[in-house]
Structure 1
């Protein structure tokens, strides 16, 4: 089974963090959830985004999520795959140089990478999507295209695989996203 690294942070989308974390473990994979400047046992705050008929999603405070590994101990060669959840955390995680280096290392080594919703903001910041078909929350389309990616407009429950990269627009896509990611693992 695979060893998966999940880079997450405060105000990650609750479902996009917890469902893949638990789902991948239920499949028999191990998942290390890390956050810059935090240690194993520290908590991150999550948020819940919902589609309630407005022009964009709504946001509510979610659960606390306990990290099970320490960011400063991450070595890319110890992992088989990378998972990047969405929510608000990618907007600040992409400013962390080490986060970007880790994503670039996974991409350069051809290891599977999955990302959902706003998670592709990390992929665009790392410069790893040029020429790839990438889905994300629709508001991320300009970033995907400016980074040289080909934005894949999918229904909210759809996902797309391009090489080693699996992406989806939002948490309703978990079944498709996890099925495609598991196939790469």
Structure 2
């Protein structure tokens, strides 16, 4: 079976691991991933930030890599994609102000296509008003966004993930193994060990 077409919504200061790891891992599994940012074109870069947990009251932030976009946001048509990935970091906070981003997220929710969001990605889900009745994990500081959008905040371990219908969410990048495993199940990807 051919790989799926996956859309990834990013912006400047997206969390470094949360964009790099799924972007590369999903391609490794044979899927096509188009990473787009409103206002930027294919070949341009977004800056990333590394968020770490070092014993402070919240995460620390350090400069990450520059991540090269491989598609142009203004050219994409959500109906041409099978699934959506929303990394965290600071990007969801401001790309949710773009009505075309909101419409794209709504398309995936309304058509019941797989959506994987991690960390602050829940801010974009809340802004698109697609969390009603859904169990959703996120970075704990985003729990009010989830609740106010009608979702049920799932307070799970930082390395855990939760699936509810077409939605797979996790608190932060330490959950990548569980989060990506749940997402690829929704994609119908089979990994066979022999």
TM-score normalised per structure 1: 0.99
1:129 aligns with 2:125: no
Q: Secondary structure at the match of 1:177?
A: helix
Q: Secondary structure at the match of 1:99?
A: helix
**1:1-185 matched pairs, under 5 angstroms:** 1-185=3-187
TM-score normalised per structure 2: 0.95
RMSD, aligned α-carbons:
0.4
Distance 1:97 1:17 in 2: 22
Unaligned runs of 5+ in 1: none
**TM-fit CA distance, 1:30:** 0.6
**TM-fit CA distance, 1:76:** 1.1
Q: Aligned pair count?
A: 185
**TM-fit CA distance, 1:40:** 0.3
